[in-house]
């Protein structure tokens, strides 16, 4: 379960360019829920997702993930939590451009103590599920935006995370491809994953069980 209690995020705190990106964020997402986060550009959606993914710290309030307080943890603990529980698709994909698709998808498996063959197999299965297995050996910088998005999704799901966070997952896709990705998310949701989807597309948001709307770093709905 994800529980945020009056969470606030302040970039560059105590410096001249201090900026409050999140304020009093209070919500709970139960295991297996599918939730959309919507809001205008600059509202704080990506910031919120990065806090939830344990990539970014926060300055105020408390964030509990499965009853564990995510605060003041060292990098080793944080990376263990990220690798065991969380899959994230970043807005800019955050792929390594001169690695192949399969090498990118294998990255989160580097921490697991399993044989290379097993890692390859898991990465291939993840690529298959997003329809990218034929391009496994292709270098990422030769892919289209939509293809990169699929590889980023494959990387997010390769470790079988219980929580999947996605930032504009269909932003670079046409209607057909975006519907395919949404079916994949519905499948993951049916399997019991907790899904949090940041989107500006109301058609995508409406497919979720709940919509949280943020404006200027605050929840105004949901
Ligand atoms: N590293 C940073 N340092 C300072 N300010 C930042 C940083 N990252 C984001 N911000 C600011 O925080 C605010 C929220 O940014 P964020 O990226 O979370 O918005 P968003 O809702 O995801 O927007 P978009 O829909 O355009 O992706 C913006 O005003 C942004 O300029
Ligand atoms: Mg964003």
Q: Dump pLDDT digits (tens) for 7-50.
A: 999 999 999 999 999 999 999 999 999 999 999 999 999 999 99
CB contact set of 190 (below 8 Å; sequence gap of 6+): none
Asked whether 34 and 185 are in contact (CB, 8 A), the reply is: yes
- The pTM of the full predicted model, rounded to 2 decimals, is 0.94
Atom of ligand 1 nearest to the CA of 214: 21
Q: Looking at residue 177, what is its pLDDT? A: 83
CB contact set of 199 (below 8 Å; sequence gap of 6+): 36, 37, 38, 168, 169, 170, 171, 205
CATH superfamily of 2-221: P-loop containing nucleotide triphosphate hydrolases (3.40.50.300)
How would residue 206 be classed by pLDDT, with cut points 50, 70 and 90?
very high
Structural domain spans, the chain: 2-221
Asked whether 197 and 190 are in contact (CB, 8 A), the reply is: no
Percentage of the chain with pLDDT > 70? 100
Nearest to residue 112, comparing CAs of 82, 90, 132? 82
pLDDT for 70 beyond 90? yes
Phi/psi for 193 (5° steps) reads -70, 145
Mutate to test the pocket of ligand 1, among 8, 9, 10, 11 (most ligand atoms within 8 A of CB): 11
Mutate to test the pocket of ligand 1, among 39, 43, 51, 89 (most ligand atoms within 8 A of CB): 43
Ligand nearest to the backbone CA of 25: 1
Whose C-alpha lies nearest to ligand 1, atom 12? 21
Please tell me the total number of residues recorded for the chain in this structure. 222
User: Buried b / exposed e across 176-215, counting CB within 10 Å, b at 16+?
Assistant: ebbeebbebbeebbeeebbbbbbbebeebbebbeebbbbe
Ligand nearest to the backbone CA of 200: 1
Query: Is the CB of residue 199 below 6 angstroms from any atom belonging to ligand 1?
Result: no
Q: Looking at residue 171, what is its pLDDT? A: 82
Atom of ligand 1 nearest to the CA of 200: 25
Q: Return d(Cα 209, Cα 148) in angstroms, integer.
A: 27
Query: Is the CB of residue 11 below 6 angstroms from any atom belonging to ligand 1?
Result: yes
Instruction: Match 């603990």 to its residue by tokens.
Output: 77
Strand intervals (E) in the chain: 2-11, 19-29, 34-38, 60-65, 68-69, 86-89, 163-167, 194-198, 210-215, 218-221
Sign of CA dihedral 186, 187, 190, 196: negative
Asked whether 86 and 166 are in contact (CB, 8 A), the reply is: no
Measure CA 34 to chain center: 13
SS3 10: strand
The DSSP code for 3 is E
Query: Is the CB of residue 222 below 6 angstroms from any atom belonging to ligand 1?
Result: no
- What confidence tens digit (pLDDT) does each residue in 94-148 have? 999 999 999 999 999 987 778 999 999 999 999 999 999 999 999 999 999 889 9
- What confidence tens digit (pLDDT) does each residue in 142-195 have? 999 889 999 999 999 999 999 999 999 888 788 888 888 899 899 999 999 999
Q: Give the number of other CB atoms < 10 A from CB of residue 218.
A: 17
């Amino acid at each position: 379960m994800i529980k945020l209690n009056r969470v606030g995020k302040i970039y560059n705190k105590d410096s001249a360019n201090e900026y409050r990106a999140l304020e009093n964020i209070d919500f709970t997402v139960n295991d297996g829920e599918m939730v959309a986060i919507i809001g205008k550009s600059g509202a704080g959606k990506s910031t919120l997702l990065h806090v939830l993914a344990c990539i970014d710290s926060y300055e105020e309030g408390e964030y509990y993930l499965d009853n564990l307080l995510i605060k003041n943890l060292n990098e080793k603990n944080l990376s263990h939590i990220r690798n065991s529980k969380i899959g994230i698709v970043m807005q800019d994909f955050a792929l390594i451009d001169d690695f192949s698709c399969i090498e990118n998808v294998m990255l989160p498996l580097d921490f697991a103590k399993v044989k290379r063959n097993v890692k390859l197999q898991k990465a291939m299965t993840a690529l298959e599920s997003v329809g990218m297995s034929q391009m496994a050996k292709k270098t990422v910088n030769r892919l289209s935006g939509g293809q990169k998005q699929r590889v980023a999704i494959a990387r997010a799901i390769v470790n079988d995370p219980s929580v999947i966070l996605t930032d504009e997952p269909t932003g670079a896709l046409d209607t057909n491809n975006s519907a395919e990705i949404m079916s994949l998310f519905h499948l993951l949701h049916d399997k019991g994953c907790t899904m949090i989807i940041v989107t500006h597309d109301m058609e995508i948001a409406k497919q979720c069980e709940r919509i949280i709307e943020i404006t200027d770093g605050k929840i105004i709905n949901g």
